[in-house]
Amino acid sequence: MDSRSKRNRLLSWLLPLLAALALPWLFRSNQYNLMLLTTVLLYGVLATAWNIIGGMAGQFDLAAGGYLGLGAYTAGTLLLRWNITPWLGMIAGGIVAVGFAVLVGYPLFRFKVREVWYALSSAALVSVLRVVFLMWENIGGPTERYLPFHQFSLYHLRFGSYIPFYYIMLLFLASALLASAWIRNRKLGYHLLALGDNEDAAEVLGVDARTCKLKALMIYAFIIGAVGGVYACLYGFLHPNFFSSSLSLEVSILGIVGGLGITYGPLLASILLVSARELLRASLGGQLESLYLGIYSIVLILIALFRPQGIASFIRVLAARLRSRPSRSRV
Amino acid sequence: MQSIIQNILNGTMMGCVYALIALGLSLIFGVMNIVNFAHGEYVMLSMYFTFWIGSLWGIDAVATPLITFPLLFLFGLVTYYLVIHRTLRQKYVTQIAVTVGLMTLLRAVAQIIWKAQPRALPYSVIQGNFVLGDYTIMLSRLVSALASVASILLVHLFLSRTWPGRAIRAASDDLDAASLAGVNYAWTYALAFGLGSALTAVAGGVLMAFQQVDPTMGLRFGLLSFCILALAGLGSTLGLLISGVIVGIAESLAMGLWDPRARSLVVYLIFVVVLWLRPRGLFGRK
Amino acid sequence: MTSDPLLEVSGLTKKFGSLLAVNNVSFAIQSGEILGLIGPNGAGKTTLFNSITGLYRPEGGSVRFRGVQIAGLEPHRICKLGMSRTFQVLQTFPSMSVEEAVRVGAYNRHDGKEALAKVDEILAQFELERLRSTRCEELGLAFLKRVEIARAAATEPSLLLLDEAGAGLNATELAELMRMLKALREDKHVTLCIVEHVMKMVMGLCERIIVLDYGELIAQGNPEEIRRDPKVIEAYLGRRASR
C-alpha cells in the first residue's frame, strides 16, 4: 500500500474517532441527546459483535439479549452481594456468557446440522432465561433489583450524567471494532466467511466448521456479556426483561442491514436505524412502539432482497467513485 | 390421576391441531430447506381473517376455511414469489433473515392494527361438551382434532398419490439430484409454500371456534410448530402427528399440573433438548 | 518410486436406505499418476468420491490414504492429510473474490504473509491474476471451474480429486484445463484422480482408467484396453439402448 492510501486509511478512522470524542461537548447540557448517543454506541457494540457470528460465520444468532442479560445479572449480583466493582464484574459477565454460549453451540455446531436450528434455539434460549430469572427469586425475580446509587463513582460505575457512560461505551465500541477487524483480516475471518458462504466447500478446503463457529460464538458472547455489565449500571437496576427477544432481533437486523462481514457496517446501521427509532419514539410516543420494529423489518427485507451486501456497500461504492479507481482495500 | 388423564385427553386433541400447523411448516422446510419464521404469524392471520369473515357475514368459524384456504394459499404464493424466490441464490443467513423480517413485519402490523385487545367469535355450532366416564370432552376440541387429522391424511394422500404432490416429495428427498437434473423447481417450491401456508387456514378456522386471537398468537404457534418439526424430523407424516400429540400433551400437563406460565417453557425445553440430543428428530430420515 | 499406493480403497460400500449406490469397490491410486474414473450416468462415481472425501460415511470397506484410515473422517481432516477435491455442481463462495477464495485454501498449510505469497503463486499458476478482485458470483463457467481447482490446489494436496471438471467447456477451455492439470502433476507433483464424461479429457490425460457401472467396478486398465473392453462397451451401449 502506498503512503498516500495509508494516510487516507488512517484519516478515515482518525477523523470519526476525534469527532466521536468531541461529540459529548456539543450536547453537554442535553441529557436526552447524550442518552441517544450512548444508546447508538451500545447497539453499535452489540451489532459489531453480532457480525462475528452472523456476518462472518453465517449463523443467524438471536440470543444477544440472553448474553446481555447474563452479563448484566453477573456483574450486578457481584456488585450487590460482594461489592465487587463492575470493571471486574464485566469480565465475569463475559465469561458466564461464554459458558452458556458453548453449552448451546457445542451440540449444534456438528457438521451438517442446519443453521436454522441454531437460529431457533438461540431464540428459545433467551425466552428460557427470561422465565428462569423471573422465577428465580434469589438472584432475579419479577421486580427490579436496584444497584447502589452514586453521583459519581468510577468504582461502582454509577454517574449522574450520561457523559462518562458515553466514553465507556466508546471504548467498548473501539475494542469491538478492533476485535472484528483483527479477526476479519486473518485466517479465522477467512475461514468464517467461507463457512458462511458454503460450508461444504469450506470443509473440503480444510476449514474445521465446529471449532471455527465455536470460536466466533465465544468471542461474540464475551463482548456482549461484558457490555452487559455496563448495561446494568446504565439502567441502575436488574430485571428479567433484559433477556429481551426484541433486542436480540434488533441486533441481528442491524448486523444484516449494515453489511455481512464488513467491520464498520453494523455501526453504520446502528447510527442510522437507532437514531431513527429514538426520534420516532420521541415524536410518536409509546403507543406506536411496534412501529419501529415494523420499519426495521421492512428495511431488513428490502436489504436482503436487493442489496444483501448491506448499506456499508453503498459507502464503499461512494468511496470508490470518489477515489475514481477500483477499490481494493478492505476495512 | 384423574386430572392427569383429563390433561392428556385435552393435550392429545390440541396436539392434532398443532401437528397440522407443523405439517405446513414441514412441507416448506422439506422442499426448500427454509424454515418460514413467519409461519406462526400466518396462523394468527388465518385466525384474524376467520374473525373478520365470521363477524361480517355470520359464517361459523368451522366453515371459514372454505374461504380462507384459497386466500392463504394465494398469500403463500405471493410471499414466495415476492420475497423468498430472490433469496434462494444468496447466503443462507440472508434466507433466514428474510423470513425473520417477514415475521417481525406481520407481528408489528398486527399489533398496530388490532392493538393488544383479543378478538373472539361469539358462537359456533361446535360448542358444548359431552362426558365420558369421569372425563369431559369438549366438542370444539374434538371436532378440531378430527378435522386436523383428516386434513393431515388428505395432505399425505396428495403427496403420495398425485403428480404435483410427488414432485414436491421428490424435490424434498434429494435437492442435489433435482438440481443436477436441471429440474425447474421454482413452481414446486411455490406450490409447497402455498400449500404449507394454506394449511394454517384450516387450523385457524377450527381454533377460532373456541379461542381468542391476539397479536402474540404468532409467537405461540410458531414456537409450537418449530418444536414439533424438530421433534419429528423430516420424512414422516405420521411421525409429525405423533410428535404433535406429544407436544400437545406436554403443554397441557405443564399448564394443568405445574403453572400456566410454564406452558411455553416446557415447549422451549423439549425443543432445545431435542436439538441437542437428536437434531435429526425422532422420525427423521436425513 | 514408492511401492505403497497413495490411496487404497478396499471393499467400499455405500447405501442410501435400501439403494446400494457403491458396492464393494476396490482400487488403488499410485503416487504421481493420473487416474480416470468413468462410467454411465448413475453409476455411483460421485457417491464414491463423496465417500472417499468424507462427505458421506460408507457402510462398509476401508479407505487408506498414505497408510492412514480415513473412512468416516471429517472432510477438513482429510484435507489436512493431503487430499482435496472439486465438486460436480460447483460450490462457489458467492460473496468472495477469486483472491479471497484461493486464500481460504492457502490457509490450509500456511498463515500470514506465507499464505498471501501462496495465493500469488496459485493465481499465477492458474493464470487468474487478471481476475483476482472479481467476485466469484460474476464469473463464467470456465473460470469458475478454474477457481475451484485453484482453490483446491492452494491447500497443497498430494492427491486432488476432480468431479466432472470438463463438463460444459468448449474445446479451447478444455485444452487449457488439461494443460494446467498436466502442469499441476509435473511441477507440483500432485496426483490426480478425475471423474469424467468428456472422453477427450479422459483419453488425453489419464494413464490408467477404472470403470464403474451400477456401483460396481467392472474394468481397469490403460486407455487402449478400456476402449476395447467389451464390458465397458456393453455398459455404455446397454444404457443407451434401454433409453
Quick one: pLDDT at residue A328? 53
Determine the Cα–Cα distance for residues A84 and A138; give it in Å rounded to an integer.
18
Q: C130 vs chain A: nearest CA distance in angstroms?
A: 13
Mean pLDDT, residues B152-166: 87
- The DSSP code sequence of A158-197 is EESSSHHHHHHHHHHHHHHHHHHHHHHTSHHHHHHHHHHH
Mean pLDDT, residues B195-200: 94
Please classify residue B51 by burial: count the beta carbons closer than 10 Å to its beta carbon, then call 0-12 exposed, 13-18 middle and 19+ buried.
buried
Does the CB of A182 have a partner CB in chain C at under 8 Å?
Answer: no
Q: Which three cell numbers stand for residue B197?
A: 401456508
Tell me if A122 sits within 8 A of A61, measured CB to CB: yes
Q: B131 vs chain A: nearest CA distance in angstroms?
A: 36
Q: Cα–Cα distances in Å, from A211 out to A57, A105, A217, B252, C36? A: 11, 10, 10, 40, 35
**Dihedral angle sign, alpha carbons of residues A293, A295, A299, A304:** positive
The answer to whether residue A250 scores a pLDDT higher than 50 is yes
Residues 15-34 of B with CB under 8 A from A: 29, 33-34
Report which residue type is found at C67: G
First to last CA, chain A: 13
Least confident of A94-103, B269-278, C144-153: B269-278
Q: Chain C partners of B95 at a C-beta cutoff of 8 Å? A: none
Site of grid cell 432465561: A129
Tell me if C168 sits within 8 A of C106, measured CB to CB: no
> Which residues have a Cβ under 8 Å from the Cβ of B40 and sit 6 or more positions away?
B103, B217, B218, B219, B220, B221, B222, B223, B224, B225
The answer to whether residue C33 scores a pLDDT higher than 70 is yes
DSSP character for B35?
A: -
CATH tag, A36-323: 1.10.3470
**Could you read off the pLDDT of A9-21 as tens digits, one per residue?**
777 778 888 888 8
Left if phi > 0, otherwise alpha if psi is -120 to 50, otherwise beta: which for A310? Answer: left
| Partners of residue B131 on adjacent β-strands | B136
Q: Chain A partners of C100 at a C-beta cutoff of 8 Å? A: 190, 193
Quick one: pLDDT at residue A2? 66
> Which residues have a Cβ under 8 Å from the Cβ of A179 and sit 6 or more positions away?
A49, A52, A219, A223
> What 3 state SS string does C133-196 have?
CCEHHHCCHHHHHHHHHHHHHCCCCCEEEEECCCCCCCHHHHHHHHHHHHHHHHHHCCEEEEEC
DSSP character for A236?
A: T
Residue B173: pLDDT band with limits 50, 70, 90: low
Mean pLDDT, residues A42-58: 94
Mean pLDDT, residues A245-270: 91
Residue B263 resides in a domain: no
Top mean pLDDT of A148-152, B82-86, B257-261, C75-79 is at: C75-79
The answer to whether residue C17 scores a pLDDT higher than 80 is no
Instruction: Identify the residue among B104, B117, B172, B276 best suited for mutation to test binding to A, counting A beta carbons within 10 A and taking the highest.
Output: B104
Mean pLDDT, residues A182-207: 92
Q: B176 vs chain C: nearest CA distance in angstroms?
A: 8
Mean model confidence pLDDT for chain C: 88
Does the CB of B179 have a partner CB in chain C at under 8 Å?
Answer: yes
Cross-chain residue pair C115–A197, CB shorter than 8 Å: no
Q: Chain C partners of A261 at a C-beta cutoff of 8 Å? A: 95
Cross-chain residue pair B90–C89, CB shorter than 8 Å: no
| CATH class label, C7-90+158-242 | alpha beta
Q: Which of C88, C156, C162 is nearest to C125 (CA)?
A: C156
Q: B80 vs chain C: nearest CA distance in angstroms?
A: 22
Q: Cα–Cα distances in Å, from C14 out to B148, B172, B179, C75? A: 39, 21, 22, 17
Mean pLDDT, residues A281-294: 73
The answer to whether residue C242 scores a pLDDT higher than 50 is no
Mean pLDDT, residues B2-21: 91
Mean pLDDT, residues A28-54: 90
Determine the Cα–Cα distance for residues C91 and C89; give it in Å rounded to an integer.
6
Determine the Cα–Cα distance for residues B234 and B23; give it in Å rounded to an integer.
10
Mean model confidence pLDDT for chain B: 85
Quick one: pLDDT at residue C209? 93
Among the partner-chain residues C17, C88, C95, the one whose CB lies closest to the CB of B91 is C95
Count of CB atoms situated within 10 Å of the CB of C139: 19
- The DSSP code sequence of C6-27 is SEEEEEEEEEETTEEEEEEEEE
Chain A residues contacting B via beta carbons under 8 Å:
54-55, 58-60, 62, 107-108, 110, 113-117, 119-121, 124-125, 127-128, 131, 196-197, 249, 252-253, 256, 260, 288, 290-291, 293-294, 296-298, 300-301, 304-305, 308
Site of grid cell 478454474: C146
- pTM of this prediction? 0.88
Cross-chain residue pair C88–B179, CB shorter than 8 Å: no
Per the structure, the count of domains in chain B is 1
Query: What residue numbers bound the domain in which B60 lies?
Result: 20-216
The answer to whether residue B181 scores a pLDDT higher than 60 is no
Quick one: pLDDT at residue A318? 81
The answer to whether residue C3 scores a pLDDT higher than 70 is no
Determine the Cα–Cα distance for residues A312 and A307; give it in Å rounded to an integer.
10
Mean pLDDT, residues A289-312: 86
Quick one: pLDDT at residue B102? 93
Q: C60 vs chain A: nearest CA distance in angstroms?
A: 21
Considering only residues B113 and C153, tell me which one the structure prediction assigns the higher pLDDT. Answer: C153
Does the CB of C89 have a partner CB in chain B at under 8 Å?
Answer: yes
Cross-chain residue pair A256–B94, CB shorter than 8 Å: yes
Mean pLDDT, residues C29-34: 92
Q: Chain A partners of B92 at a C-beta cutoff of 8 Å? A: 58, 115, 196
Quick one: pLDDT at residue B174? 60
Tell me if A201 sits within 8 A of C96, measured CB to CB: no
The answer to whether residue C1 scores a pLDDT higher than 50 is no
Please classify residue C112 by burial: count the beta carbons closer than 10 Å to its beta carbon, then call 0-12 exposed, 13-18 middle and 19+ buried.
exposed
Quick one: pLDDT at residue A39? 92
Quick one: pLDDT at residue C243? 41
Instruction: Identify the residue among B96, B98, B234, B273 best suited for mutation to test binding to A, counting A beta carbons within 10 A and taking the highest.
Output: B96
> What 3 state SS string does C190-216 have?
CEEEEECCCHHHHHHHCCEEEEEECCE
| Partners of residue C163 on adjacent β-strands | C195
Does the CB of A279 have a partner CB in chain C at under 8 Å?
Answer: no
Tell me if C85 sits within 8 A of C160, measured CB to CB: yes
The answer to whether residue A46 scores a pLDDT higher than 90 is yes
Residues 229-258 of B with CB under 8 A from C: none
Does the CB of A198 have a partner CB in chain C at under 8 Å?
Answer: yes
**Could you read off the pLDDT of B67-88 as tens digits, one per residue?**
899 999 999 999 999 988 888 8
Site of grid cell 409450537: B224
Quick one: pLDDT at residue C162? 94
**Dihedral angle sign, alpha carbons of residues A74, A80, A86, A89:** negative
Quick one: pLDDT at residue B100? 92
Least confident of A3-12, A281-290, B125-134: A281-290
Cross-chain residue pair A207–C76, CB shorter than 8 Å: yes
